[in-house]
Chains A and B, each alone.
Chain A
Amino acid sequence: GDSVTQMEGPVTLSEEAFLTINCTYTATGYPSLFWYVQYPGEGLQLLLKATKADDKGSNKGFEATYRKETTSFHLEKGSVQVSDSAVYFCALRNTGGFKTIFGAGTRLFVKA
Chain B
Amino acid sequence: DTAVSQTPKYLVTQMGNDKSIKCEQNLGHDTMYWYKQDSKKFLKIMFSYNNKELIINETVPNRFSPKSPDKAHLNLHINSLELGDSAVYFCASSQVRTGVYEQYFGPGTRLTVT
Contacts and interface: CB of A to CB of B under 8 A. Distances in A.
A102 B108 contact: no
A60 B48 CA distance: 30
B83 interface: no
Contact of A44 (B56, B96, B105): B105
A32 B85 CA distance: 31
Contacts, number: 49
Given A42-B108, A43-B108, A93 B48 contact: no
A82 interface: no
Contacts of B92: 43-44
The secondary-structure label for the interface of chain B is strand
Given A42-B107, A99-B48, A102-B43, A49 B90 contact: no
Interface residues of B, number: 23
B105 to A, nearest CB: 4
A40 to B, nearest CB: 11
Contact of A87 (B41, B45, B55, B90): B41
Interface of A: 32, 34, 36, 38, 42-46, 49, 87, 89, 93, 95, 98-100, 102, 104-105, 107
Interface of B: 4, 31, 40-43, 45, 48, 50, 55-56, 90, 92, 96, 99, 101-108
